[in-house]
């Protein structure tokens, strides 16, 4: 690509893309506060964590790893500090 083609390409890009403004069109803080308040007055976090949708989104292999971890801790309780260190 020679210099003339590069200049033509740059001009086409400038024409096709709208100019960017450095300022936001609106303030995002009130919207975030509204979402936090809405979540606080909504369902309890425990109900959200153990909802059927949340539980079904976890792959079966993760459940198998959790079962192995629980069985391993029951068999080898002295391994608990090691697991706590890694997590």
The encoded tokens of residue 15 equal 């024409």
What pLDDT sits at residue 77?
92
**pTM for this structure?**
0.41
Strands (E), the chain: none
Give the domain range for residue 74.
Answer: 27-86
Query: Is 22 a member of any domain?
Result: no
Report the domain count for the chain: 1
Query: Is 74 a member of any domain?
Result: yes
In this prediction, the residues of the chain whose per-residue pLDDT falls under 70 are 39-43, 45
Query: Is 69 a member of any domain?
Result: yes
Query: Is 55 a member of any domain?
Result: yes
């Amino acid at each position: 690509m020679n210099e003339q083609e590069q200049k033509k390409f740059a001009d086409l890009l400038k024409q096709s893309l709208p100019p960017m403004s450095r300022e936001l069109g609106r303030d995002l803080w009130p919207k975030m506060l509204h979402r936090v308040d809405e979540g606080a007055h909504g369902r309890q976090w425990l109900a959200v964590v153990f909802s059927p949708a949340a539980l079904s989104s976890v792959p079966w292999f993760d459940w198998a790893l959790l079962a192995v971890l629980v069985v391993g801790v029951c068999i080898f309780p002295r391994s608990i500090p090691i697991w706590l260190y890694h997590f």
